[in-house]
Amino acid sequence: MIELESVRKRYPAPQGSGWFDAVHPTSLRIAQGEIFGLIGQSGAGKSTLLRLINLLERPDAGQVRIDGQDLMQLDARSLRQMRQKIGMVFQQFNLMANRTVAGNVAFPLEIAGWSAERIRARVDECLEIVGLTERARHYPAQLSGGQKQRVGIARALAPHPSVILADEPTSALDPQTTQSVLDCLKDINQRFGVTIVIVTHEMQVVRALCQRAAVLSAGRIVDVVEVQGSDITTHHAQTRALLEEA
């Protein structure tokens, strides 16, 4: 379970004087095993809110709790251990060009001090889950965008996380490849019960993948919608506008 309690993040104002709230004090609960979307226009604060969940951005106020543990109270070592439970997937994949596919997936396990034997077995397992067993010895430059993102997902999954945070994971991909990456995330959620929080600006992605989604505007959650089948019902004007755009 992810609990955000009045989290706030301020940055220096672009004009140079004072500060502005990229995320106004915001509370949100995401259940274990849920697929939850953060949707909104560019600059709404989606990525910032996502990065507050694993303290990649430290809140200026409020609390972040994962499975009841207050992340702000953890020392550096305990926070590193806690981050093993929170995988991350990025829009631009963030793969290491000089490592093979297998080497990229192995990386977080090496950092965590796993034995070579356990790493080999887990890398094989994760590459099979994302359908890239045949590509283990290839380098990122030899892969398509969708394959690169599936490597990113395998890497996030490798340390057995309970949560995966995905920041616009399909924005760099064409529609067909997008579907295969969304299917891959859905499969991981269903098979292993991993909670997924996904940032997107596309209502299609929310419809295809999420059970609920928060609509962000100017640093605030203005609506939380439920997705039933692929139907979204809302009475909120901003959400309706996003639905009409889609």
Ligand X SMILES: Nc1ncnc2c1ncn2[C@@H]1O[C@H](COP(=O)(O)OP(=O)(O)OP(=O)(O)O)[C@@H](O)[C@H]1O
Q: How far apart are CA 121 and CA 115, in angstroms?
A: 10
* Phi and psi angles of residue 207, each rounded to the nearest 5 degrees, phi first: -60, -40
Smallest distance, ligand X to C-beta of residue 217, A: 9
Smallest distance, ligand X to C-beta of residue 210, A: 16
* C-beta of 49 vs 143, nearer to ligand X: 49
In this structure, what token pair is assigned to residue 203?
């209502």
In this structure, what token pair is assigned to residue 231?
């139907």
In this structure, what token pair is assigned to residue 238?
């901003």
Our finding on whether 98 is near ligand X (CB under 6 A) is: no
Our finding on whether 47 is near ligand X (CB under 6 A) is: yes
- Give strand ranges (E) for 18-99: 19-30, 35-40, 61-66, 69-70, 86-89
CB atoms within 10 A of CB 71: 20
- Could you give the string, one character per residue 101-140, with x where binding to ligand X holds by CB under 6 A and - elsewhere? ----------------------------------------
User: Smallest Cα–Cα separation from 106: which of 85, 78, 127?
Assistant: 127
Our finding on whether 28 is near ligand X (CB under 6 A) is: no
Our finding on whether 44 is near ligand X (CB under 6 A) is: yes
Our finding on whether 37 is near ligand X (CB under 6 A) is: no
Amino acid occupying residue 58: R
Smallest distance, ligand X to C-beta of residue 141, A: 26
- Alpha-carbon torsion 188, 194, 199, 203, what sign? positive
Smallest distance, ligand X to C-beta of residue 109, A: 29
Residues in the chain: 246
Our finding on whether 201 is near ligand X (CB under 6 A) is: yes
Q: Which of 43, 193, 233, 240 binds ligand X (CB under 6 A)?
A: 43
The footprint of ligand X on residues 168-197 (CB under 6 A) is none
Amino acid occupying residue 9: K
Our finding on whether 48 is near ligand X (CB under 6 A) is: yes
**Which range, of 39-47, 65-73, 106-114, 126-134, touches ligand X by CB under 6 A?**
39-47
Amino acid occupying residue 87: G
Our finding on whether 19 is near ligand X (CB under 6 A) is: no
* C-beta of 136 vs 224, nearer to ligand X: 224
Q: Which residues pair with 8 in a beta bridge?
A: 61
Q: Note the residues at the interface with ligand X (CB under 6 A).
A: 11, 22, 40, 42-48, 201
